[in-house]
Amino acid sequence: MKTISRDTPLSEITLRKYEKPVNLDQRELTRKLCLSVGLLQPGDSRDVVVDILHVLLQNKEKELDSEQIKEEVIKFRKKQKLQLKGIASSNIRRQLRRLRGLFLVEKVKNNYRITEFETLINTFEEKIEQFYLKSILERVREYFKAIK
């Protein structure tokens, strides 16, 4: 009997191109960023990851634990008159893990913060563009070369 192996990627990234970021409020800018890097799928109604990132950006000089983030997300969603979907503690932690996977957020002890208190553009250029994306492109190139 043949064993079927699973094709599990070592890493992956989704990139989408949208219109230029003109005349958008902060939440919509954050939403488009999340869509652009695959943290949010087009048409998703559960967009709490947007508010988690927004809260962390608003508190970029601080470290927050997951419960503080949850409380801030609830306040922000109420202020924006958004439904309180996806705000369970387990989902907040799952979304934080996804943000960590893209190097946008880091965990220090039991607290979370924007990576190294840096700007997102620096994090993108140093961690995603130069490291993560480059290693994925190099491996894809190896597959192209291997096929004759």
Q: pLDDT tens digits, residue range 5-19?
A: 678 888 889 999 999
**Number of structural domains, the chain?**
1
Between CA 63 and CA 85 the distance in angstroms is 24
How many angstroms from the chain centroid is the CA of residue 139?
23
Q: Does residue 2 form part of some domain?
A: no
Q: What is the CA radius of gyration of the chain?
A: 17
Average pLDDT, the chain: 93
Whether residue 117 has pLDDT greater than 70 = yes
Using 50, 70 and 90 to split pLDDT, how confident is the model at 4? low
Whether residue 45 has pLDDT greater than 90 = no
The parent domain of residue 43 ranges over: 26-117
Q: Does residue 60 form part of some domain?
A: yes
Q: Does residue 3 form part of some domain?
A: no
Q: Does residue 16 form part of some domain?
A: no
Q: What is the mean pLDDT of residues 39-66?
A: 94
Report the pLDDT value the prediction gives residue 1, as an integer from 0 to 100: 64
Report the pLDDT value the prediction gives residue 92, as an integer from 0 to 100: 97
For residues 13 and 37, the answer to whether their CB atoms sit within 8 Å is: yes
Report the pLDDT value the prediction gives residue 18, as an integer from 0 to 100: 96
